[in-house]
Structure 1
Amino acid sequence: MLAACAHSIRAGGLFVFVLLGLSACSSLQAPARPLVYDFGPGAVATEPTNRMARLPTLSLAEVDAGAALDGTAVLYRLAYADGQQLRPYAQARWSMPPAQLLRQRLREQLGQRRAVLNLSDGLLAGRASLTLHVELEEFSQLFEAADRSSGLVRLRATLGHVRPEGAGGGPAGERLVAQRSFVVQRPAASADAAGGVRALTQASDALIEELEQWIAQVQQAAASR
């Protein structure tokens, strides 16, 4: 009986040792990598897009954003608890800061109907051009309740008229043409990071569509003067 008890104790000790070993191994495993998101591939062209200006050429400045949007975290707010606090998802991030993602999408979408250039391209030297400045103010998943949220995008757009040096006999500079704020929300299909990313992508696309219509209206009004 003593031998049986000793064997049982040894077996039990071995079992505990194995459990401890497995626990130690699991604690040494690398943490799961965050999922990386972007806005997706966008419109897939079946043939080359004709950039010969059906609409006037537009210069696109860098998109500005506040310090909270400088990083790549996917952010959310709990409006039902503390809507003033921005919180990051631990296991989700954007492929680049939201301002860069938005600029990339802006250039892609606006470029379907007009030539869109960077300010640094230097291709508009010698004649006046219209420049779009964008300041991204909000880009987060807003939870109205624990199981209900939406993607919220808010920005301020400014159109300026760039005058090259010597044009019209005056110094180089930029004159304010128009300014407008845009706010768009789209419901999230799920109360998680994946749902928030899809909702923010849809909200961004809808906002860009509104922005494009506004630019066309401003240019039409300017041409009719």
Structure 2
Amino acid sequence: MTTTATIRNAIAIAATAALLGACASKGQPTAQYDFGPLTAATPTSASRIAPLIIADVAGPAALETERMHYRLLYSDANQPRPYAYNQWTATPAQLLTQRIKARIAQAGVKVLATTDAAASTTVLRMEVEDFAQNFDTATSSNGTLTLRASVFRSHKLVDQKTFSSSVAATSADAAGGARALSAASDAVAADLITWLAALPPSKE
């Protein structure tokens, strides 16, 4: 027999999904989000990092679309749900690539494209494992980013590490998710720079 608590939980889940995904009126314009302007960076020892080729971020197919998604962890964590009238200005993979390159360059590292192979044999490759706004409750969510970074020199793996950051959203909507995912991306970029600076220097 269905309990009162179960009924209330089902109502809360339905209400959240309606609020986040499909409650906007017909014809409402789409709101677009990116990671916002760069803020001041935390000082690092990035001067030890040699010129670096940074490949575009890779990841699941969901990162190749501008759609914004969220998950209701308290309902069905395996079901990503799209926002109805909110999207990214570019794909998450593109936004992450731009942001991480900008942060590494901001730290003083010479950032090269994959077409600049003659200028450096050191390549940074990144693959996203998780990029999502996750709701623990109907009013509480976090922007979570997890990615695996690999450094190659002359096509040989130097080191590999997984980085992750989860930042609480300031509001239970797409805008809050965008801000949280931006902050999570900056946190991962900072940790990534620290890791790169600690790697053995190139013998070139």
1:75, 1:139 within 8 Å by CA — same for their partners in 2?
A: no
DSSP 3-state at the match of 2:75: helix
**What amino acid does structure 2 have at the position aligned with 1:116?**
V
The equivalent residue for 2:171 is 190
The equivalent residue for 1:146 is 138
Separation of aligned partners in 1, 2:27 and 2:60: 30
2:50, 2:202 within 8 Å by CA — same for their partners in 1?
A: no
Match of 1:36 among 25, 28, 32: 32
**What amino acid does structure 2 have at the position aligned with 1:78?**
L
Taking structure 1 as reference, are residues 182 and 66 closer, same or farther at Cα in structure 2, changes over 3 Å only? same
Q: Displacement of 1:222 after TM fit?
A: 4.0
Q: Displacement of 1:55 after TM fit?
A: 3.5
**What amino acid does structure 2 have at the position aligned with 1:137?**
E
**What amino acid does structure 1 have at the position aligned with 2:95?**
L
When the two chains are superposed, the root-mean-square deviation of aligned CA atoms in Å is 2.1
TM-score (norm: length of structure 1): 0.72
DSSP 3-state at the match of 2:156: strand
2:48, 2:201 within 8 Å by CA — same for their partners in 1?
A: no
CA deviation vs aligned residue, 1:129-155 (integer Å, no higher than 9, x gap): 211000112111000111111001011
Percent same amino acid at aligned positions? 40
The equivalent residue for 1:203 is 184
Separation of aligned partners in 2, 1:119 and 1:54: 21
Separation of aligned partners in 2, 1:55 and 1:222: 8
TM-score (norm: length of structure 2): 0.79
- Specify which structure has the bigger relative contact order, considering alpha-carbon pairs within 8 angstroms and separated by 6 or more residues: 2
Separation of aligned partners in 2, 1:114 and 1:123: 17
Separation of aligned partners in 2, 1:119 and 1:138: 24
2:134, 2:141 within 8 Å by CA — same for their partners in 1?
A: yes
CA deviation vs aligned residue, 1:189-219 (integer Å, no higher than 9, x gap): 111111111000001000100011011111x
Query: Structure 2 matches for 1:75-114, cutoff 5 A?
Result: 75-112=69-106, 113-114=108-109
The equivalent residue for 2:58 is 64
Q: Displacement of 1:43 after TM fit?
A: 3.9
**What amino acid does structure 2 have at the position aligned with 1:83?**
A
Match of 2:156 among 155, 172, 175: 175
Structure 1 spans left out of the alignment, 5+ residues? 1-28, 45-52, 163-173
- Structure of higher CA gyration radius: 1
DSSP 3-state at the match of 1:84: coil
Count of matched residue positions in the alignment of Structure 1 and Structure 2: 173
The equivalent residue for 1:156 is 148
**What amino acid does structure 1 have at the position aligned with 2:121?**
S
CA deviation vs aligned residue, 1:83-135 (integer Å, no higher than 9, x gap): 011111111100111011011011111012110000113441xxx52110001
Structure 2 spans left out of the alignment, 5+ residues? 1-24, 41-46
